[in-house]
Amino acid sequence: MTERTLTGEVHGEAVGPERPGTVGQGAVLLAGSCLPILGSVLLAPVLPRMMAAFAGTPGVEVLVPIVLTAPALMIGLLAPVAGRIVDAVGRKRILVAALVVYSLVGTAPLWLHALGADSLPLVVASRVLVGITEAAIMTACTTLIADLWSGPRRDRWFARQTITTTLAATVFFGLGGALGAVSWRAPFWMYLAGLVVAVLVAVLVPATGRVAAAARPALPPIPWRLILVPCLVTLFGGIVFYTPIAGLSLVLAGLGISSTATIGLISAIASLATAAGAFAFGRTAARGPRIAVLLPLALGLAGVGLVVVGLASGPVVLTVGAVIASAGTGLLLPTLLTWALSRLGFAERGRGTGLWTAAMFIGQFFCPLLLFAVSVPLGGLSAAVALLGAVTLLGAAGAPVLVRRWASRLAA
């Protein structure tokens, strides 16, 4: 079948199901896509209690934050490997296996405690294993969505993926706080959700078809000319996307706002704006706007919002900036994903998804490090956020030219 991309080009054949996926299948894949997000936000509220529980452990000040960040780093490093395995072995098979192992290693602090083997290094090691499974889950879920739908339907499901994971992050943050009030270990029970999703995937989600040239012993090479530019832009996009998430509370603290209720409310409003931006992508992409239009629009909104956040002198103006920036990042994420996968065939789609996922998560991992490094010479985090906003606006101005040159080189 042929498919017209948002850049207006027609791709070649892709091997997939004869009929589009169902709403139920999509809902299961969206649920699976939320599980890697669970690891990055569910435990944030219990970090202080973990710090107190392991107060006697050498290096506790470093090891406890790693409990939160290790999975994201593993996703960034291993998603390309997961993509290759997904292409070689099969999407559904890898997804079900990864979900089962995810629940096993995700609940490790619970059974380590039951065995009398409480150890912060062992908890950190289990988080590294969680990140490995999350790389496979995220890559397989996104690849299956790309397999089961095409054209505008695929665009809408990518938008729904961003909406669902964004709203899930808000819910998981509150749930982590509620469970953390019982014990710092209580949130780890949520990792059993992986077993439920594994059963649903096994029963409801079809295994997508084999590659047409499956008789060849080796996978076809990755088409770098198709994926390299979108992935490089996604690396920057990951930094922009994560800045409102990682920097908002710290900028508020710099303004003298320390109330957790206020910070939580503003963060929730920004999160809803991210979902609204993703929803807007699903509505507008189906009507025909191209990447050369959507990408600068998304970067422009994000850039303007970050500049406002960086220059804000009070919570009201900062909230307005956060809403604008988050709406832009909500539009940005599915735009970048669609751009990266739009021309890939079935045989290389898993590896393309893995490379894109790696670029996004590596950008997110380095976001706080970059902001901190820039904030030192500039005299504060707010100035660093404003500078990133200005750079993002420059990126928005150059995006149409970049996309057109990319498309023209492929046509040549």
Residue 133: give its domain's CATH number. 1.20.1250.20
Q: Which of 194, 209, 224 is the last residue of a domain?
A: 209
Q: Which of 175, 209, 243 is the last residue of a domain?
A: 209
**CA atoms within a 13 Å half-sphere pointing along the CA-CB vector of 174:** 11
Is residue 11 one of the residues assigned to a domain? no
Whether residues 132 and 184 share a domain: the answer is yes
55: containing domain: 16-209
Q: Whole-angstrom Cα distance, residue 151 to residue 2?
A: 9
Q: Which residue has the tokens 């957790």?
A: 260
Whether residues 157 and 227 share a domain: the answer is no
Look at the chain and count its residues: 412
**Confidence at residue 353, expressed as pLDDT on a 0 to 100 scale:** 87
Whether residues 234 and 312 share a domain: the answer is yes
Q: Whole-angstrom Cα distance, residue 262 to residue 154?
A: 37
Q: Whole-angstrom Cα distance, residue 351 to residue 347?
A: 9
Whether residues 198 and 97 share a domain: the answer is yes
Q: Which of 209, 242, 266 is the last residue of a domain?
A: 209
Whether residues 20 and 129 share a domain: the answer is yes
Q: Whole-angstrom Cα distance, residue 232 to residue 290?
A: 19
Q: Which residue has the tokens 């994903």?
A: 337
Whether residues 255 and 171 share a domain: the answer is no
Task: Take residue 229 and report the two structure tokens written for it.
Answer: 């530019």
Domain count, the chain: 2
Whether residues 65 and 171 share a domain: the answer is yes
**Confidence at residue 99, expressed as pLDDT on a 0 to 100 scale:** 97
From the list 360, 353, 366, the residue with the least C-alpha distance to 137 is: 353
Query: DSSP string of 49-102?
Result: HHHHHTTTSTTHHHHHHHHHHHHHHHHHHHHHHHHHHHHHH-HHHHHHHHHHHH
Residue 25 burial (10 A CB sphere; 0-12, 13-18, 19+): buried
* Phi/psi of residue 4, nearest 5 degrees: -90, 125
Task: Take residue 310 and report the two structure tokens written for it.
Answer: 């960086």
Low pLDDT (below 70) residues in the chain: 1-19, 39-40, 44, 209-218, 260, 285-289, 412
Is residue 265 one of the residues assigned to a domain? yes
Residue 42 burial (10 A CB sphere; 0-12, 13-18, 19+): buried
Is residue 5 one of the residues assigned to a domain? no
Is residue 335 one of the residues assigned to a domain? yes
Whether residues 328 and 241 share a domain: the answer is yes
Is residue 274 one of the residues assigned to a domain? yes
Is residue 6 one of the residues assigned to a domain? no
Whether residues 244 and 355 share a domain: the answer is yes
SS3 label, residue 152: helix
Instruction: Report pTM.
Output: 0.78
Is residue 329 one of the residues assigned to a domain? yes
**Confidence at residue 9, expressed as pLDDT on a 0 to 100 scale:** 34
**Confidence at residue 73, expressed as pLDDT on a 0 to 100 scale:** 85
**Confidence at residue 94, expressed as pLDDT on a 0 to 100 scale:** 93
> Rounded to the nearest 5 degrees, what angle is found at the Cα of 186, between the Cα atoms of 184 and 189?
140
Whether residues 261 and 302 share a domain: the answer is yes
Q: Do residues 411 and 9 make contact, with C-beta atoms less than 8 angstroms apart?
A: yes
Is residue 377 one of the residues assigned to a domain? yes
Whether residues 243 and 123 share a domain: the answer is no
Q: Whole-angstrom Cα distance, residue 223 to residue 297?
A: 27
Whether residues 340 and 405 share a domain: the answer is yes
**Confidence at residue 218, expressed as pLDDT on a 0 to 100 scale:** 67
Q: Whole-angstrom Cα distance, residue 20 to residue 158?
A: 14
